[in-house]
Chain A
């Protein structure tokens, strides 16, 4: 068990170190996030559409597509110089590779979200200081689900010719349930609804987290076979 976590944390730390050094995915994800938020902001007619009506959708479109840039990059790192072979030759279970990649991706997406969130609040002029902890909780729950599926699918598509195009095509159908839940919850949180109004969607989102993480953990090894 010790070597499992040592390996998983080493892989996550290595991915973060490379991203910190190159900033390739982070810069693209952040620029993308700002652009999408700006487009949604300028596309809205404030006299016809209220900020609260469009903000949840805008937030999750931004997060989902910005995150995909990072998820795509995660296994590209391992295909350069066939570094994945080096991981597979190590005496560690394949699931440790999945957990390491998952943690690395989670950190990456988390940072992108943390940087984009103030911009989102600024663009939509939302007085959400009181709702901020609840909103961050919803974001964290939805992020876990889509990063788990994204990590699994990213390892599947990395050997295909059009990996960067394939990931969104495969990933988006899986993301519909958690993203719908996240949009519904975000809308309710921003409207200041009581917790009892959120319970159903929260349970659904928590179920997706558990199912997606466990399924992806066990399915990962099958994606490694050539």
Chain B
């Protein structure tokens, strides 16, 4: 079967800040239905890679090509504390050319935040902010969704909602890239795992039924080999 045209394609990406090289020679591509899980220790370059793939950072060398809308969930929520959840989504919707109150309501419901839609974000818990941030990223109906530690600070119920969203995206043929330490939560959804070691992609392999322990064992093996 012929493989679909990649939704996101990075070629020989290098990124440095001053003299410090954070990413080196990263090549990766994802197509609709792909679920790439990025694994790496703190400082391995996961966040920088996600930001480069999203277009928020320009690569020092190499290229990144995206087709279609891109959504991103980062450590920071990209939300305004003084606005309500509904106002935040409506504002981002307008930026994406989707001035649609029904869409905003649907996303609030999907993220389990409908009863809190008219509350200011400043009054939200960390988990609620994270769910709203994911809702914000879903507004443009992205072809590819990039998530940096999306499950941090979420309780089981909230993590369940996020997992449902990710499953739904995969089912609908969207591409997903997740950088996470919480492998247990997403390893069964992932199709591919990328091992980031010291800013290099030490391996890009199919998950092939491996569990979180097996993935981490493989990461340690690659990290030990440098």
Binding site for B on A (CB under 8 A): 3, 6-7, 10-11, 14, 17-18, 21-22, 77, 80-83, 85-92, 225-226
Asked whether any CB of chain A lies closer than 8 Å to the CB of B4, the reply is no
Complex: chain B residue closest to A2, CB-CB: B97
- A10-B91, A88-B56, A226-B57 as given contacts; A81 in contact with B96, CB under 8 Å: no
Assembly CA distance A90 to B136 (angstroms): 11
Closest chain-B Cβ to A189's Cβ sits at a distance in Å of 39
Residues of A within 8 A of B77 (CB): 81-82
Checking B70, B71, B76, B91 against A82 with a beta-carbon cut-off of 8 angstroms, the contacting residue is: B76
Binding site for A on B (CB under 8 A): 54-58, 69-72, 74, 76-83, 87, 91-92, 94-97, 99, 136, 140
Residues of B within 8 A of A21 (CB): 82-83
Contact B87 A89 (CB under 8 A): no
Closest chain-A Cβ to B12's Cβ sits at a distance in Å of 20
Complex: chain B residue closest to A92, CB-CB: B95
Contact A91 B81 (CB under 8 A): no
Contact A85 B82 (CB under 8 A): no
Assembly CA distance A81 to B55 (angstroms): 18
Checking A3, A10, A14, A226 against B80 with a beta-carbon cut-off of 8 angstroms, the contacting residue is: A14
Contact A83 B80 (CB under 8 A): yes
Residues of A within 8 A of B81 (CB): 80-81
Closest chain-B Cβ to A157's Cβ sits at a distance in Å of 19
Residues of B within 8 A of A81 (CB): 76-81
Contact A18 B74 (CB under 8 A): no
Centre residue among A11, A14, A83, A89 by max chain B CB count within 10 A: A89
Closest 8 CB pairs of A and B: A86-B78, A90-B95, A82-B76, A10-B94, A18-B82, A81-B77, A81-B76, A21-B82
9 A–B pairs (Cβ distance < 8 Å), ordered by A? A17-B83, A18-B83, A80-B81, A81-B77, A82-B74, A85-B72, A89-B55, A89-B72, A90-B95
